[in-house]
Chain A
Amino acid sequence: MKKDLNFIGKRKIFFGISLAIIAIGIICNLIFGTTLDIQFKGGTILTYSYEGEVDQEVLKDTIQKATPDSTVSFAMTHDMVNNIEAVSVQFPGDDNFSPEIQETITNNLKEQFPDNNFKTQESSTVEASMGIMFLLKCLTAVAIAAILMVIYVTIRFRRIGGLSAGMMALVALVHDVAMIYFMYVIFRMPIDSSFIAVILMIIGYSLNDTIVIYDRVREERRIAGKKADLADVFNHSASVVMPRTIMTSVTTLLAIGTVYVVATVFNLASVQAFALPMMIGIVSGCYSSLCIAGPLWVAWKKRGTKK
């Protein structure tokens, strides 16, 4: 009989690691702040028209260099009526954009691409398309889903004290969302709609991971009986499920990793920026189920017995 892995015994190390990452994230957040994209913040859209062919990456670099302090995003457009190429530069927020910056960009572009006849086409200030109301709506939706999820877990896992199991699954979810959020903060990536996609996907992934382990605990508890030590039951359950956990994580990571590699080959920075946090989220989702939700739940259940 193989020895069970000891997740509960090492819980202080796990909690320590997570808290340390969260602390680093909070510090970075205080220093750098959060970069919200124009969809959430409103801002300024500046459009330049030009003629002929231009290397898009060089173009982006040229513009980015003029605004080292702010994160801008780009959209390339092609006016089919007048056959004019154009690039829109989006400056999120009110303080990221100034007429001076616009002048610098204009001059830099003319210097870098003298033959392409760069011209300021228009500059407009826009409201956020997904404003604060949208974020509140997202939070409300997630809160409703969380409550229903806890109710479901409470009913289905009543044999092992469903309510606490549900609450701890929720803690694991918050943990994963925090990990991805801080990852965006630490690497200074702007929060845009792909952030929402990553968060939603990781919530689903982590939830499934936690439930699969709870399911095994529910089963092993029935076999071991009421008197068995909960810590042992959890360690045993997590250990027998381990091959599945590894296999699922490896296949998912390889699949997303493929997306990342292909995006690198095609030089698609935006797809990389989507795949990378997703990979982090998968690792975090797997880790939080085993090392956060489980140990927290065991500690909660045993809080009365240890005096």
Chain B
Amino acid sequence: MKRIPKPVFFIVVLLIAAFAFTAFFGIKYYEGDIEKPVIKGLSDIRWGIDIRGGVEATFVPVVDETADTEAAKEDSTVDETDPDGGPTNEQLDSARSIIEVRMVANGITDYEIYVDYTNDRIIVRFPWRADESDFDPATAVKELAATAKLTFRAPDGTVVMDGSAVKKATAGADTSQGSSAEPMVYLDLNDEGAQIFAEVTQTYLNQQISIYMDDTLLSSPTVQSVITGGKATISGNFDWDSANKLATQINGGALPFALEAPTYSGISPTLGQNSLTAMGYAAIIAFAIIAVLMIIRYRVPGFIAVIALLGQMALSIAAVSGFFTVFNSFTMTLPGIAGLILSVGMGVDANIITAERIKEEFKTGKTIDSAIERGSKSSLSAIIDGNMTVVIVSIILLLVFGPSNILSMIFGESTTGTIYAFGYTLLMGVISNFIMGVLLSRVMLKSVAGIKFLRKKWLFGGAGK
């Protein structure tokens, strides 16, 4: 056997311990009273509505007699089927899908949305943000109900162009002024929009055009030249967050009618209060039981398996909490936890398969080195095949139920976050298992086998004396 140097074991253990600590607890500092996470931990996970509760809101279209907008006129003529003169079912559906887009854009994958066609209502339930501290449903609801109508207004206040002219909005930085890159929102206009914009900039050359989002003035740039390229920018007092938010809002599109939420309320977790605490306790107790069983039955390999398992859990949690900045934090729901349980179970299984193989090798009279060598080698194919088949399942679930939505041409656009959450945690868990339960636990095992006072067959699962 190619023996791995002894210190490697201690280095790996220390690294896993440090990683697990930061992944579970995160690193934060305080600026005054405001908590600033440097590395996100368990407490930064956005828990789903089933676990932590959230907001329930009933949206109804605003019946505003005075607002004589074009959309309202269209309503009254088209809507003959609906005697009470509310929005059409198609409009309700489009409002529903816009709300869905806004939810997903905000990282909320776990929500329930019901449309009540008879009463012209949309009922929405969604979880609290992870960093929610004041638990005020009002702001959360307001964000979703915003009409999000982008308008460009002439100096006299008439609307000259609106959000329907925009093909795509992106947040970017103005780099033309050197280092002081200020975030702004870039608009790509569609063909029609480009034409309108050219005319508008022609008419109002050297005058101010105001850009509004609903009733909020974003900026009032002075037109300096006729813009024919179909590109516009919105600058103003943006930071990256607000620029991104505005771009997402514009991309999400405007609602066909204004919505208001006459009733909204906080909602208790559907799993029952304390479910998060309960599952926390359950996780700790279950981990302790597994650790004891593994160490009693497999001794040194069992101990190493427990360390690897801790690493696997930390890595899976890190993939969910937003520890790695490339992955956004993720809404954890019951199916997400099921995916985590399954992947941890498979991690335990991988270590059990290896440890049992080592025991078998001892029975045929092998030395410690060759038992470990052969045991690790012969168990590998079972672990790889078992995990790969599960990876196939999780990838399909991610593709079908995630943003890529590969079956959308058959089943229409939809986002069902709960199943996506299962696929995501399972895939992350299995990848973590390959890194921790397969690769690192083997490294640790081969390294620890070199430590003299541990070199007894019994300690590695062989029969006594």
Q: Which residues of A contact B (CB under 8 A)?
A: 39, 42, 45, 73, 75-81, 84, 86, 88, 121-122, 124-127, 129-130, 133-134, 136-138, 140-141, 144-145, 148-149, 152-153, 156-157, 193-194, 196-198, 200-201, 203-205, 207-208, 211-212, 214-216, 218-219, 240-241, 243-244, 247-248, 250-252, 254-256, 258-259, 261-263, 265-271, 274, 278
Contact = CB atoms under 8 A, between A and B. Distances in A.
Which of A125, A196, A251, A252 is packed against the most chain B CB atoms within 10 Å? Answer: A251
Given A149-B392, A156-B385, 19 more contacts: A76-B268, A77-B265, A77-B266, A126-B114, A127-B117, A134-B414, A137-B410, A137-B414, A145-B392, A197-B334, A197-B422, A200-B335, A200-B419, A215-B385, A244-B352, A251-B289, A262-B285, A265-B278, A271-B272
Nearest to A128: B114
A212 B349 contact: yes
Given A80-B265, A259-B286, A212 B407 contact: no
Contacts of A134: 411, 414, 416
A77 B426 contact: no
A124 to B, nearest CB: 5
Contacts of B159: none
Nearest to A80: B266
Contacts of A194: 334-335
Given A75-B267, A80-B136, A208-B387, A127 B293 contact: no
Given A149-B393, A198-B338, A200-B422, A263 B282 contact: yes
6 contacts: A78-B268, A251-B348, A254-B289, A256-B286, A270-B272, A271-B279
A75 B56 contact: yes
Contact of A204 (B393, B414, B416): B393
A265 B426 CA distance: 28
Interface stretch (B217-225, B244-252, B339-347): B339-347
Contact of B396 (A122, A141, A153, A201): A141
Contact of A268 (B272, B401, B414): B272
Contact of B393 (A153, A207, A243, A261): A207
B138 interface: yes
Which of B136, B294, B359, B382 is packed against the most chain A CB atoms within 10 Å? Answer: B382
A201 B263 CA distance: 37
A266 B279 CA distance: 10
Contacts of A211: 382, 385-386, 389
A144 to B, nearest CB: 5
B interface secondary structure, majority: helix
Contacts of B286: 254-256, 258-259
Nearest to B113: A129
Contacts of B378: 219
B112 interface: yes
B206 interface: no
A152 B392 contact: yes
B385 A136 contact: no
Contacts of B82: none
B338 A215 contact: no
A194 B333 CA distance: 10
B137 interface: yes
- B interface bracket (residues with beta carbon within 8 Å of A): 35 or more
A111 to B, nearest CB: 24
A254 B84 CA distance: 58
Contact of B278 (A88, A157, A262): A262
A144 B394 CA distance: 11
B345 A152 contact: no
B410 A86 contact: no
Contacts of A241: 356
A145 B352 contact: no
B275 interface: yes
A124 B59 CA distance: 13
Contacts of B289: 251, 254-255, 258
Interface in B254-270: 263-268, 270
Contacts of B275: 266, 268, 270-271
A121 B262 CA distance: 12
A256 B419 contact: no
B348 A252 contact: yes
A75 B123 contact: no
Given A80-B266, A255-B341, A268 B274 contact: yes
Nearest to B110: A193
A149 to B, nearest CB: 5
Nearest to A39: B112
Contact of B400 (A129, A140, A153): A140
B345 A252 contact: yes
A145 B266 contact: no
A274 B279 CA distance: 12
